[in-house]
């Protein structure tokens, strides 16, 4: 599976967040800035608790409370920076919505892994369905549930290396 490449953006995530907050009469506080920077330091799917762990292990002065992380994540979703992609082990899983191409996910029910894919014909089919129903599409989210290739391999094949010892 090919990796999706990031989309070039002219405004940094922190600046885009600041713009959004300004329209709501809020400020980009140092805590909110820490959250944005940590979230956009790598493109990975993450759940809120993983992010809380990462931010609470930071050095004094850059630590952010759990409540602030949760609140900021919701604000970032509203600002169009993040989107919730799924729930795994009862936690919300997020990913970048800003600066990243539209894509869909295969979600493994066993290990919880998310595999990203882009498929243009699929988007065309959804457009066609919507047109038939007189529906104007602004976006879509497709989640396919099942078992990933690694998890669906028979146990024998998975442990072959051990058997040979």
Residues making contact with Zn ion (CB under 5 A): 95, 108, 110-111, 113, 116, 148, 151
3 state DSSP class of 64: coil
Under 8 Å between Cβ of 116 and 100: no
User: Least distance in Å: CB of 1 to Zn ion?
Assistant: 12
- Based on CB atoms, which residue is closest to Zn ion, 11 or 142? 142
- Based on CB atoms, which residue is closest to Zn ion, 111 or 122? 111
Tokens of 87: 């729930």
User: Least distance in Å: CB of 31 to Zn ion?
Assistant: 26
User: Least distance in Å: CB of 23 to Zn ion?
Assistant: 27
- Based on CB atoms, which residue is closest to Zn ion, 123 or 151? 151
- Based on CB atoms, which residue is closest to Zn ion, 63 or 158? 158
User: Least distance in Å: CB of 148 to Zn ion?
Assistant: 3
Please choose, from the candidates 138, 142, 77, 140, the residue with its C-alpha nearest in 3D space to the C-alpha of residue 105: 142
The region that residue 104 occupies, defined by phi over 0 for left and psi between -120 and 50 for alpha, beta otherwise, is beta
Rounded to 5°, angle at Cα 19 from 17 and 21: 70
The region that residue 146 occupies, defined by phi over 0 for left and psi between -120 and 50 for alpha, beta otherwise, is left
User: Least distance in Å: CB of 80 to Zn ion?
Assistant: 15
The Cα 74–Cα 35 span in angstroms is 12
- Based on CB atoms, which residue is closest to Zn ion, 82 or 108? 108
């Amino acid at each position: 599976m090919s990796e999706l490449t990031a989309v070039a953006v002219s405004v940094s995530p922190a600046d885009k967040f600041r713009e959004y907050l300004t329209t709501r009469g809020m400020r980009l506080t140092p805590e909110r800035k820490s959250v944005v920077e940590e979230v956009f330091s790598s493109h990975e799917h993450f759940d809120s608790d993983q992010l809380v762990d990462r931010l609470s292990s930071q050095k004094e002065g850059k630590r952010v409370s759990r409540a602030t992380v949760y609140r900021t994540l919701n604000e970032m979703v509203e600002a169009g920076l993040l989107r919730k992609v799924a729930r795994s082990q009862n936690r919300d899983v997020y990913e970048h919505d800003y600066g990243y191409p539209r894509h869909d996910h295969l979600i493994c029910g066993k290990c919880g892994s998310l595999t990203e894919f882009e498929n243009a014909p699929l988007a065309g089919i959804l457009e066609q369905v919507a047109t038939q129903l007189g529906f104007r599409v602004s976006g879509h989210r497709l989640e396919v549930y099942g078992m990933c290739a690694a998890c669906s391999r028979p146990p024998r094949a998975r442990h072959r290396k051990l058997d040979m010892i």
